[in-house]
Amino acid sequence: MTKEKEVQQITEVTVRFAGDSGDGMQLTGSQFSETTAIFGNDLSTLPDYPAEIRAPIGTVYGVSGFQLHFSSADIHTPGDRPDVLVAMNPAAIKKNIGELKPGAMIIANTDAFDKKNLQLAKYEANPLEDNSLKGFEVYPVPITHLTNKALEGTKLSQKEISRCKNFFALGLMYWLYNRPLEPTQKWIQDKFKNKPEFIEANTKALIAGFNYGENTEIFTIRYHVEPAKLPKGIYRSISGNEATALGFLAASVKSGLPLFLGSYPITPASEILQYLSYYKNFGVKTLQAEDEIAGITSAIGAAYAGNLALTTTSGPGLALKTEAIGLAVMTELPLVIVDVQRGGPSTGLPTKTEQADLLQAVYGRNGESPVAVVAASTPSDCFNMALEASRLAIKYMTPVILLTDGYLGNGSEPWNVPHVKDLPEIPVKFRTEKEGFAPYLRDENLARPWVKPGTPGLEHRVGGLEKANITGNVSYDPDNHDLMIKLREKKVKDIAKDIPLLEVDGDQSGELLVLGWGGTYGAIKEAVIKARDGGYKVSQAHLKYLNPFPSNTEKVLKSFKKILIPEINLGQLAKLIRSEFLIPVEQFNVVRGLPFRVSDIENKIIEMLGGSNE
């Protein structure tokens, strides 16, 4: 008779699944996340996968990982250091050992620790046997063997059976953290509805992993994390890329405009194109173009034709779209460019995150070509900022760049799904009156008329040569060029009157303000909370509007003696703040291709306030 296991209540835990790209770690992590969201915990995730499509099996740089932080309380990051590592091979331990908390639990698939895999991971001896993992709780589990045994008699080949071992590992983790099996069982049935042999095998592997945890003697404790007390509403787990796609879909509905996306696939932005392609029933048109330039120019054509037009990319693609963005500035058409930032320079780190492109977004075009720039702060906030970028582009007849990043795009969190009636309307007015029309007349927002091609009497030309004010004719007049440059600049600057003021979390003035932008929000938030809990006076402000800045930005900054700006770059926002407001700031820059650790920002806060980090 199996001894009943002790159940220990905990408030939060950070788990990392790691193995070869073919081990299904992204699927395992996403299923654990979906089940955890259904269970009611607050959560945040960080997928981390190799840049190579077929990275060499068994090597450290071929390791794919998925980190999940879940809690019974409000959380904002995927966790600094994992409490648990599920390692499917030696390379997974080699890559992640330095990231684990002291005393962390390691569940290792012992079947993968053979001579070949140890050599590929550059181990001279088996780390499970040479005492090199002293200080960690190591649980050796023959996951591959147990999966094979559980699936004896199924119709699958040996190779197909081996691929089911991730579901065995998932079942074991469901047992360890008291998660229900039913959501994943339903997912298996839906995924393999035309392949009953795969439904049977994966379900058996999942249940076998759960039962192993229950019956084995090596695990004596299981853990329970109560559901979080979140505000009332309908919640679902959502990634930043999916939230971005749904934000644009909502903008299409609220504006009454058909949605067109012209894009070229690029990591980590490709999923937005994929998600929007599912919504043809909403009239969405998606074009997978032959290159980045074709993607954006097709979107410019769609904007000219009266569509809600957008293009999606990452940093290298934004560079290729530069001239066409200038064309959209010149023709003064509403266009949204989404940049899901990744590590650079050049091809850089395609699957890693970085706040790489702020200066490129603000300044990276030929001539004086101002565009509005906004940024999302969390995965679910990508929905809000996609909606807002669409509103600004339409109202001011200007391109708008929406910055997200690899962490936000791939990461996920619970999203309180809004009702469509609660979303803001996006008014649209097409010019139809022939009398008094000129293509570069301007309204109170300095926006020119939006005319659908074919409207009788409203024919006009567009193109990349400078326009004469009012008439829109090609003009080489020096004074007209100076006027048009200044009009386009003023139009973007005046957006500051139409966006929220910069809010300060904490004291409205004082010794230290931590100022951030984009995906650093969660790490800064938790670092500030921890510093306050330690008795330090510190406030936080986060910029979601970067060109123009909110109208009270200078006032907020001058209300504090010190400004700390953490960025995953070498100080791009810091440069903008110094040049715009002539205010000294303290930079904190770590560019590792990963989100900030909360502890690093917390230590910097304490250092600036004269405390001790010990």
pLDDT digits (tens, 9 = 90+) for 22-59: 899 999 999 999 999 999 999 999 999 888 777 788 89
Sequence-distant (6+) residues with CB within 8 A of 219 are 5, 139, 176, 213
Which is nearest to 41 in space by CA: 183, 228, 173? Answer: 228
> Which residue is it, tokens 């510190």?
538
* Distance (Å) of CA 520 to CA 118, 400, 526: 37, 21, 10
Q: What is the pLDDT of residue 613?
A: 58
Sequence-distant (6+) residues with CB within 8 A of 195 are none
* Distance (Å) of CA 50 to CA 63, 437, 571: 7, 55, 27
Sign of torsion, CA 471 469 437 429?
A: positive
> Which residue is it, tokens 């639990």?
105
Strand 412-416 vs strand 235-239: parallel, antiparallel, or unpaired? Answer: antiparallel
Q: What is the pLDDT of residue 386?
A: 98
> Which amino acid makes up residue 389?
A
Q: What angle do CA 233, 42, 67 make, to 5 degrees?
A: 140
* Domains, the chain: 6-224 (3.40.920.10), 236-422 (3.40.50.970), 504-608 (3.40.50.920)
Mean pLDDT calculated for residue range 382-389: 98
Beta strands, E only, 422-544: 504-505, 510-517, 539-543
Q: What is the pLDDT of residue 3?
A: 66
Query: What is the residue-averaged pLDDT of the chain?
Result: 96
Mean pLDDT calculated for residue range 213-231: 93
Q: What is the pLDDT of residue 51?
A: 80
Share of the chain above pLDDT 70, in %: 99
Mean pLDDT calculated for residue range 409-427: 95
CB atoms within 10 A of CB 5: 16
Mean pLDDT calculated for residue range 115-126: 95
Share of the chain above pLDDT 90, in %: 94
pLDDT digits (tens, 9 = 90+) for 224-260: 999 999 888 999 999 999 999 999 999 999 999 999 9
Q: What is the pLDDT of residue 2?
A: 57
Helix (H) or strand (E) holding 416: strand 412-416
pLDDT digits (tens, 9 = 90+) for 341-373: 999 999 999 999 999 999 999 999 999 999 999
Lowest mean pLDDT among 228-232, 390-394, 507-511: 228-232
Query: Is the predicted pLDDT of residue 454 greater than 90, yes or no?
Result: yes
- DSSP letters, 105-116, are EEEEEGGG-SHH
Mean pLDDT calculated for residue range 542-546: 98
Query: Is the predicted pLDDT of residue 612 greater than 90, yes or no?
Result: no
Mean pLDDT calculated for residue range 494-500: 98
Query: Is the predicted pLDDT of residue 1 greater than 70, yes or no?
Result: no
Query: Is the predicted pLDDT of residue 474 greater than 90, yes or no?
Result: yes
* Distance (Å) of CA 393 to CA 116, 372, 418: 56, 8, 22
Q: What is the pLDDT of residue 230?
A: 86
Task: Give the dihedral of Cα atoms 136, 139, 140, 143; nearest 10 deg.
Answer: -130
Query: Is the predicted pLDDT of residue 331 greater than 70, yes or no?
Result: yes
The string over 282-312, giving b where at least 16 C-beta atoms fall within 10 Å of a residue's C-beta and e elsewhere, is eebbbbebeebbbbbbbbbbbbbebbbbbbb
> Which residue is it, tokens 């089940």?
35
